[in-house]
Structure 1
Amino acid sequence: MANMQWTLLLLIWMGQCCVIDCQLYEFHYINKEKTWTEAQQYCREKHTDLVTVTNMKDIKRLINISPGNWRGAWIGLYGQTDGTRKWHWSLPGVEFNESEKNWNTGEPNDKTGWQNCGIIWKNLKWGDLSCHDHQYFLCYDDKYILINKNKTWEDALIYCRDHHHDLVTITNMDQQRAVQQEAQFASTDYVWMGLSYACTLDLWFWVSDEVVRYKNWALDGPMDDCDMSGAMETKGNHQWCKKDDTEKFNFICST
């Protein structure tokens, strides 16, 4: 169907878990032909950005549930030439990793001398085309959002629940990586998460009622003091630290 937007849900599973808690990203296959720059603008206005393809298992899941007319689509990959050709991702702060490349045989070949934008074909391999070509494209929505406001833990919790869904919960490594990708752009040294300490129960818990199984505490570990909540480092290894919940940091909401 012409000009139809197909919403494709990419689900990341960790054992037996529900769809809402495990959904990290939402991909959108846009069945409209646009240049790469027009596609990037469209994605940034209506979603988060053109997709960053750093995990081919995720893309295989995506293609497996794609519409039958799938033929290829722009991804957020573009090349810049400054003496040496270098590839970059559209999403700010994400570096292109040569070990994750998945070029088709003989690609990128810069056949016309102007092929500086990346496309993913039906066989899941990448190609380079002129950025002025008109192609379908893939956008994505991030399920986490960094709030660049300094608030106490409780005020951050209220803000997330009023404007989004909740303070973020992290139950596996995939979610940790997605959240730390947002955290690196914070203006504070830590960002609040939805992790708090119940003094009377001597228990750390997620506000989403998830059990704290996956852990990423700094070496000294959590100190079980009252009035403490969990925050993530915005630099270094992005480990978790206990902080007095009256301190004010940026924070990350789930959407």
Structure 2
Amino acid sequence: YHFIGENKTWDKAQKYCREKYTDLATVSNMTDMERLRKSTETLTEAWIGLHSYPGKDNRTWYWSLPGLEFNENQTRWDSGEPNDKGKHNHLENCVLMKNQKWSDYACDGEFQFFCYNDKLILINESKTWVEALNYCRKKHYDLVSITNLDEQRWIQERVKKASTESVWLGLRYTCTLDFWFWVSDEVVSYTNWASGVECDDCDMSAVMEREGRNQWFKKPDNETFNFICSKN
């Protein structure tokens, strides 16, 4: 997360974040909240990437990042919010965060804001798994690993733009030791395998499907797909 100490309207803040980082900040759990809090010393009001569209009677909230579902169970509204009580009958369709609490506000207000950078890059070239791994380690940091549902969601947004039907992940099976491992040394805690993916085989690595539920499948290492690198 990056705290930007310039005052801008919500739309201009979104444009700034999309040009320089990934998007306005998404806050989907308490860990995100904590990281946001740590990215600013001042407990000032700042825009986050949550908004609704003008003129809707039953208000639906959306994250600025396309395709990321807004989960009502993880909201942090301040008491009495959202209230849509703007001055001069302005609708309050954008969201400010202060002291880890959210309040709705008219989008043309000017405030500081939080950007998010997800450090991921989709490589639209088809390579074998080993070629993909070498490419990421040489030019960026590593082949991507996924350790929780939030990371799965961020990455599946990238995967939708791939030119191959699946995309390599940094998850590989070792015959010698008989288990799956992330090349980044992350622990394999979260998984999103498709049901019925048969037992483990040698020379296999994991891909995420571009369509459908973005589940994981195993493919022979020598097949070629696009892939996602993590940046340092």
Q: Same fold (TM over 0.5)?
A: yes
> Aligned ranges for residues 1-255 of structure 1 at < 5 Å?
27-63=1-37, 65-84=38-57, 85-104=59-78, 105-111=80-86, 112-122=89-99, 124-199=100-175, 202-210=178-186, 212=188, 214-221=190-197, 223-255=199-231
Give the conservation status (yes or no) of the 8 Å contact 1:110–1:116: no
Cα drift, residue 173 of structure 1: 4.5
Provide the alpha-carbon RMSD of the alignment: 2.6
**1:37-60 residue CA offsets vs partner (Å, 9 max, x unmatched):** 221111111111100122144213
Flag structure 1 segments of 5+ consecutive residues without an equivalent.
Answer: 1-26
Aligned length: 227
CA distance in structure 1 between the aligned counterparts of 2:18 and 2:61, rounded to whole angstroms: 20
- The 8 Å contact of residues 233 and 241 in structure 1, kept in 2 or not, is answered as yes
Paired with 1:171 and 1:87, the residues of 2 have a C-alpha distance of 27
Contact kept, 8 Å, 1:223 with 1:242, in 2: the verdict is no
* Residue type of the alignment partner of 1:78: H
**1:153: Cα distance to partner?**
1.5
State the distance in 1 between where 2:188 and 2:49 align.
34
TM-superposition CA deviations, 1:174-221 (whole Å, max 9, x none): 544443343344343321011223445544333224454554433334
Q: How far apart, in 1, do the equivalents of 2:36 and 2:56 lie?
A: 36
Equivalent residues of 2:172, 2:206 under 8 A apart: yes
State whether residues 89 and 95 of structure 1, in contact with CA within 8 Å, keep that contact through their aligned partners in structure 2. Answer: yes
Q: CA deviation at 1:224?
A: 3.7
CA distance in structure 2 between the aligned counterparts of 1:106 and 1:200, rounded to whole angstroms: 56
Q: Which moved more, 1:185-194 or 1:171-180?
A: 171-180
CA contact (8 A) 1:222 1:241 kept: no
Confirm or deny: 8 A CA contact 1:230 1:242 kept in the other structure.
Answer: yes
Q: Secondary structure at the match of 2:54?
A: strand
Does structure 2 retain, via aligned residues, the 8 Å contact 1:218–1:240?
yes
Higher relative contact order (CA 8 A, sep 6+): 2
Q: Please say if residues 148 and 190 of structure 2, whose CA atoms lie closer than 8 Å, have aligned partners that are also in contact.
A: yes
SS at match of 1:182: helix
Distance 1:61 1:199 in 2: 38
Percent of pairs identical after alignment? 53
* Residues in 1 aligned to 2:187 and 2:50: alpha-carbon distance in whole angstroms: 38
Classify 1:79/1:110 alpha carbon distance in 2 versus 1 (closer, same or farther; 3 Å): farther
Partner of 1:21: none
**Could you tell me how far 1:163 is from its partner in structure 2?**
2.3
**Structure 2 unaligned residues grouped into runs of 5+:** none
1:162 alignment partner, SS class: helix
TM-score by length of 2: 0.82
Change (3 A) 1:228 1:103: same
Which amino acid in 1 is paired with 2:42?
N
> When the two structures are superposed, what TM-score results if normalisation uses the length of structure 1?
0.76
Compared with structure 1, are the counterparts of its residues 205 and 160 closer, same or farther at alpha carbon in structure 2 (3 Å cutoff)?
A: same
Amino acid at match of 1:109: D
Aligned-partner SS, 1:142: coil
